[in-house]
Structure 1
C-alpha cells in the first residue's frame, strides 16, 4: 500500500489494485484507486452505513447540528470552567465555519440560537 503525504493531511494510505477495482463494481461505481481512511473492526457494517445512511460528512454534519441544538438549551448545574467555556466556543466557531461553507454552496444550515 502506498503512502501519500498531501499538504496538511498527514499520511494517506492508498491502495491501487487496478485489476480487481477496474473490472469489479463497488456499490454503483467503478474505481481504479481506493483511499483507505483507517481500519474497521466491521468493514461490511461500515460500508453498509456509508452506502445506506450517509457519508462521514453527512453523519458529522447531523451530529454538529444536534450539538448546536443541545448547546442552545444547555443550562449547566454549576458554572463552567474557563477551559470548558473555551471548548464550547471552539466547537461553536467550527460549526459556524462549516455553516459558512454550506451556505457558500447553497446548502441549508440550522438556525443559530443563544449558544452563540
Structure 2
C-alpha cells in the first residue's frame, strides 16, 4: 500500500487496484480505493494488512474464536435479557457469514470443524 501525502493532510494510504465485480448488486468498476480511517500507528496497520491479513480475515478469525467461546460458555449467573439478545445477535450474524462463505465455497459448512 503506497503512502501519499496530500496538502494539509497526514498519511493517506490508498491502493490502486482496478477490479470489476459483476454480481447480483450490479456492475461495479473502480480504479482507485481510498482508505480514510484514522490510525495512531498507520505504518503498523499497513504492515499488518500486508503481512497478516485483511480486515475481513482478521474479523473472520475473531468470529471463529468467539463461536468456540460461545459454544463452551457457561455463565456463573443467569444472563440478563439484554445480554442474551446480544449473544443471539452475534450468533445470527456469524451464521449468516458462514452461510455466505459456504455458498461461495470459501469455508466448510457450519457443522464441520477444523482443529
Q: Same fold (TM over 0.5)?
A: yes
Task: Measure, in 1, the Cα distance between the counterparts of 2:77 and 2:106.
Answer: 37
Q: Residue in 1 aligned with 2:91?
A: 92
Note the C-alpha offset of 1:35.
1.4
SS in 2 for 1:80: coil
Could you list the runs of 5+ residues in structure 2 that have no partner in the other structure?
Answer: 7-13, 18-30
CA distance 1:98–1:37, shift in 2 (3 Å): farther
Task: Measure, in 1, the Cα distance between the counterparts of 2:57 and 2:82.
Answer: 29
- Quick one: higher RCO (CA 8 Å, sep 6+), 1 or 2? 1
Higher percent of residues as strand = 2
Note the C-alpha offset of 1:111.
4.3
Alignment TM-score, normalising by the size of structure 2: 0.67
Could you list the runs of 5+ residues in structure 1 that have no partner in the other structure?
Answer: 1-14, 18-25
Task: Measure, in 2, the Cα distance between the counterparts of 1:34 and 1:99.
Answer: 27
Task: Measure, in 1, the Cα distance between the counterparts of 2:109 and 2:85.
Answer: 22
Deviations 1:3-44 (A, max 9, x none): xxxxxxxxxxxx9x8xxxxxxxx8xx7555231241111111
Task: Measure, in 2, the Cα distance between the counterparts of 1:110 and 1:74.
Answer: 22
